[in-house]
Structure 1
C-alpha cells in the first residue's frame, strides 16, 4: 500500500502530466478468468499483403492479419495487426521478434494503426512509430504489431486494460510463427506510452511454457501511473486540467468496454455526452484534444454523479504493483509533458522495490522523441539479452 507521501507525489505528478500540450497517453490491466484454451489463442483467422502506409519499408514482406486472443473477462476475441519480416535468410532458430505495443490513438475502429493511411486520423503518430520499427526490421528482427482488443475489430477497445493488451501482444507472436516458420521463439515486447504500460504487463504475465521465450521488455514513457487522479484533476479546474480532459473520451469509453457497469451517460452531462463522448466513440486522439481545449470544465460531469466506479477502474489498472518476470528497460525523456519524468521516476522507484529495472533518461527528449533518442540503447539491451551477455 502506498504511503500518504507517495499519494501526494502521484497527484503532483498527475498535475505535471497534464500541464503540457499535444496528445498520446497510456494505461494497463485487470485479471479475468483464463477461459480460452491455449490452443485457441494466436490462431490466424485471415492474412493478406499489406501495402499501405502501415507497412514497414525495409521489410521483405508485410502482412495484415487477424488472429484469436483472450479479452477482458476471459472471452475469446478476434484481433487485427501486422507482421513484417526482414530481408535475407533467417538465422538458426529463426528471426527474433519485436512485438510492438502502440501508444494511445483512441477507441474508435478508425484509430487502429494497421488501418493507417497518409491522410488518416492517426498518421501523425503511426508515421513516427513506423520509422522506429523499421530500424528493427532492417537489423534482422521480425516486427509484429497488434491493434489491441476491439480496435479495428468487433467489440469495444478496453483502453487501460493491461491484461487484455498483454494477451494481444503475445498472441500475435504465436500467429506470426504460424504464418511464417522462419520466425523464431525468442521475442521481446516493446511499447510506448499506453503500449509502454502494456509492455510492463507483458513482463509481469505468466508465460505459456514450451511455445515462446520472452527474453525481455522495453517500456518507453509508460503511462498509467496515478491516472486514477484524472477525474479529480478535471474537477479541480487547475491549470492544465483542459489537457486532462483531452484524455477523458478515451478513458471513459475504454472503461465502459472493460466494465459494462460503467455507463458514461450516467456520469457526463448531456452536453459532454453529445460532444466528448461522441468524439470518443467515433474519432481519434487529435480530435479529442481539439474539442477538449474549448469545452467548459464545469460542464463535464453531472452534479452528484457517482464517479467512483471510473476512478476505481483506473486505479485497478495502475502498473505500480506489477512483479516483472523478465529483464526490463524503461526509457524516459526529460521534456515529456504527457508522461512526465516525475511520474516515471515514481513508477520505476516502486517497481524496483520488487526487482531490477534498467532506467535510461534522455535529456531534451519529448514524448514521441524518446523513441529515436532511446533506440541505440534499447537495441544494445535487446542484443545483450539475445546473446546472454
Structure 2
C-alpha cells in the first residue's frame, strides 16, 4: 500500500469503528423463546455475553399491549449482578406507531414502583388477574401518552423479579443496571430506536432512576442520556429504619419494611434476615415469595403487623444500616433532573424528598424540584404528567 493511501485507509477504519460503537450490537442467532414461565428461566449457557444483549423475546399480550404501541415485546436480556455475575433480567418494550425520525425513536426507560419482591410481581407478567396488577397498570395512561407523543417506552422488571434469584429491592446499582441495560436490549430488538434516552421512575423506580442516571455514562457509554425524571423516590432508607420503633400500630408500611430487609439480604451476605427479624415478622417472610404488594399490605399479612415488631430486640443493625445508607439516591448526575413530590404523600413523606433535593443541589446537579400540594404517592405520576411532557420534549430538542 502506498503512503498516499494510508491516511484514507486509517480514516475509513476510524469511521467504521465509531459507527459500530454507536449502533446496536449485531444480534447473534437467538434461540426461540419458550412459552409460559419457562421464558424467564434460560439455560446457564445463554447467560454469557455483553450486558444488555438479548437472550430472546416474544410478543406481549393482553394488558401489556398498550394504546399507542405498534409493537409490544417481552424481552429477556443479559445483565450483571452486584458481584459481576452474568444474569438474565426481563422487561417490556413498546414501539410507537408511525414512521421513526431520522435519528430513530427517542426512548424513555421507565423504572416501575414497588410491586413486591416475588416472581409473580414482575410487570412483564401483568394481566387483569395478576397479583400486582393495580400496582402496575396505574401508570399505563402515562406510558400510553408517551407512545402517542412519539417516544419508545421500555420497562425493566429489575434483577430477580420474575427471573432467577432474589430481587435486591432498593439496592440502587442493581436496579440501575437493569434500567440502563434494557435500552441496549431494546435497540438490538428494534433497530429503529435511536441512541438518545431519558429515564423516568416512581417510588422504588424513582430511586432506581437516579442511580441509573448516575452510572449510565460508564455502563452504557455508546448511548446518550438526556435527562432523568424521578417521582417521589425512596430515599434516606437507613434513617427510616431507625424510626420503626416509634410506629406501634399495625400498618401497611410493615410490608415495605420487610421488603427492605429482604432486598438488603439479597444485596449483601453481611445482612441476615434470621438474625434481624422478630419471630412474628420472620414467620410471615415466606409470603414475600408468593404474594405481591396488594396482598402483603392486608391484615392477614404484614399489614396486620406493627412496624415496631419487625426487628428483633437487641439485633445488630450495623451491617443493615451501612448497606441501606449507601442506597440513598443523592448521587452526581450529569444531565438535568426533574424531581416531583406530592404534598400529601404518606409513603414517601415530603420532608425526605425535600432533604434529597438539597443533597442533589449540593452535588451541583441541575435540579428542577416540583411539589404538588394535596397529591398522594400513587397520584404523582399523573399530576406531574403535563410538566413531564414539556420537560422531556425539551430534553430531546422537540420543542
TM-score by length of 1: 0.85
Match of 1:248 in 2: 257
Match of 1:167 in 2: 177
Task: Please state whether the residue corresponding to 2:150 is helix, strand or coil.
Answer: coil
Question: CA separation in 2, counterparts of 1:267 and 1:319?
Answer: 24
8 Å contact 2:180–2:216 — kept in the other structure?
no
8 Å contact 1:148–1:169 — kept in the other structure?
yes
Judged with a 3 Å threshold, the aligned counterparts in structure 2 of structure 1 residues 237 and 380 are, in CA distance, closer, same or farther, namely closer
8 Å contact 2:226–2:396 — kept in the other structure?
yes
| 2:116 equivalent among 87, 99, 106 | 106
Task: Please state whether the residue corresponding to 2:297 is helix, strand or coil.
Answer: helix
Give structure 2 stretches of 5+ with no counterpart: 1-46
Q: CA shift at 1:246, angstroms?
A: 2.4
| 1:354 equivalent among 363, 373, 397 | 363
After TM superposition, list the pairs within 5 Å mapping 1:1-389 onto structure 2: 40-208=50-218, 211-224=222-235, 226-238=236-248, 242-275=251-284, 277-290=285-298, 291-295=301-305, 299-320=309-330, 322-355=331-364, 356-387=366-397
Q: CA shift at 1:42, angstroms?
A: 0.8
The answer to which structure, 1 or 2, has the higher relative contact order (CA under 8 A, 6+ apart) is 1
Q: CA shift at 1:303, angstroms?
A: 2.9
Q: CA shift at 1:133, angstroms?
A: 0.6
8 Å contact 2:253–2:297 — kept in the other structure?
no
8 Å contact 2:231–2:340 — kept in the other structure?
yes
TM-score by length of 2: 0.83
RMSD: 2.0
Task: Please state whether the residue corresponding to 2:162 is helix, strand or coil.
Answer: coil
Task: Please state whether the residue corresponding to 2:100 is helix, strand or coil.
Answer: coil
- The number of aligned residues is 349
Q: CA shift at 1:269, angstroms?
A: 3.0
Give per-residue Cα distances to partners, 1:212-258, cap 9 Å, x unaligned. Answer: 1101110011112x22133332223356x734322122111111111
Question: CA separation in 2, counterparts of 1:157 and 1:326?
Answer: 28
Question: CA separation in 1, counterparts of 2:336 and 2:308?
Answer: 45
Judged with a 3 Å threshold, the aligned counterparts in structure 2 of structure 1 residues 297 and 289 are, in CA distance, closer, same or farther, namely same
Judged with a 3 Å threshold, the aligned counterparts in structure 2 of structure 1 residues 210 and 286 are, in CA distance, closer, same or farther, namely closer
Task: Please state whether the residue corresponding to 1:67 is helix, strand or coil.
Answer: strand
Task: Please state whether the residue corresponding to 1:72 is helix, strand or coil.
Answer: coil
